[in-house]
A and B are shown apart, each in its own frame.
Chain A
């Protein structure tokens, strides 16, 4: 990753943390100060979906032209996406504890998110139970594509069809309510970009570590032979 992108990510997140905690926010019933969760919770989901999307695209590219490097990319992006998803669930639970009264409320969005995480956990279980490297890469790429497609209705369609207490649906105050007050956008969009860049950065580091590990293994094999 380019150095200026890393610096941008750091600068954006510094700005988001300071501005997100200190700046003025619209006063809304029930939400009150917890509205600041928008800056920290929602970017997690944006990051997760984007990272899973990159993983999905890489899985398609892997099937088109198999190579170990591409497989490493698929895994790394799925891995970081999963971490983002877990953080998203945790921050959401924290927020729900204060606004809904309990961390797990059985809201359709919560359930959908939990199932989406299960999909990717299953993906890693699948990878763990295949020994042959080439086969593992190919079968898990197939599952990755299939699972991503199955996940789309879970997080984008079903929560919109059912009534939900989540902000932004069922008449509850959500993002579009702030159209009048666009000051929140000034912090929200940098937060999304910043966290996404951090995700890319972690993934690129993981890919490099994996590549170096493979190289070391190869060298050791060469020595012993």
Chain B
């Protein structure tokens, strides 16, 4: 499954590369940021969606019998968070190899990737749990998760813009703090609400 997602990310970026290599220097900062976040968003939604949707019924019953729901959601969030982080870092690496690396403050950018990864993971894990109970879960996953993760994405895009413009690090502290706060809210809510999903 991980290799599949990796290939998916690679194909996305390679398509971007092929399209933009037709004309040299046609990619500016705004396009870079849009392409980067689109590629990350799609691969992340696809990978985290699998955390509950793809599982067999027997696995759920097995999990149910051995641990509490809190343990399951926390472990899912940690696993998916690491997965998202690896995907975003891989995406960033591929982008800098194939397209360009206009990021000036690399440390700040990687911190942003770390925070967004855990935010995505917390919200998407819970939503994947909800969507897995419905009939058309794959479409539902996209519909439900899009508005929820938009606030994270907006913050991330804002920081990316600051980073690409080479602004001073202190201009992005507000956004970073906000991202951290949103993460805390979403993670604690996922922790509290998951037992109600798990019961069925």
Contact = CB atoms under 8 A, between A and B. Distances in A.
B134 A129 contact: yes
A142 B129 CA distance: 11
Nearest to B144: A122
A158 interface: yes
A221 interface: no
Contact of A130 (B134, B148, B185, B186): B134
Given A131-B135, A142-B130, A115 B200 contact: no
Contacts of B136: 129
Contacts of B62: none
Contacts of A63: 193, 196
Interface stretch (A7-15, A86-94, A147-155, A173-181): A147-155
B193 A161 contact: no
A154 B135 contact: no
Interface in A168-224: none
A164 B128 CA distance: 35
Contacts of B193: 63, 142, 145-146
Contacts of B140: 125-126, 129
Contacts of A158: 151, 154-155, 178
A102 interface: no
A157 interface: yes
A115 B185 CA distance: 19
Contacts of B185: 149
Given A130-B133, A135-B200, A125 B143 contact: yes
B60 interface: no
Contacts of B147: 115-116, 118-119, 122, 147, 150-151
Contacts of B143: 122, 125-126
B148 A146 contact: yes
Interface string B97-130: 0000000000000000000000000010011001
B63 interface: no
B146 interface: yes
Contact of B133 (A135, A151, A154): A135
A128 to B, nearest CB: 9
A46 interface: no
B197 interface: yes
Contacts of B38: none
Contacts of A139: 130, 133-134, 197
Contact of B146 (A118, A129, A141, A161): A118
A138 interface: yes
A111 B93 CA distance: 32
B150 interface: yes
A149 B186 contact: yes
Contacts of A130: 133-135
B167 interface: no
Interface string B161-200: 0000000000000110010011001100110010011011
A126 B130 contact: yes
A129 B154 CA distance: 29
26 contacts: A115-B151, A118-B146, A118-B147, A122-B143, A122-B147, A125-B143, A126-B140, A126-B144, A129-B135, A135-B133, A138-B197, A139-B130, A142-B126, A142-B130, A143-B130, A143-B144, A145-B189, A145-B193, A146-B126, A146-B186, A146-B190, A147-B148, A149-B186, A153-B182, A161-B175, A161-B178
Interface of B: 123, 126-127, 130, 133-136, 140, 143-144, 146-151, 154-155, 158, 174-175, 178, 181-182, 185-186, 189-190, 193, 196-197, 199-200
Given A115-B151, A158-B151, A161-B175, 5 more contacts: A125-B143, A129-B135, A142-B130, A153-B151, A154-B154
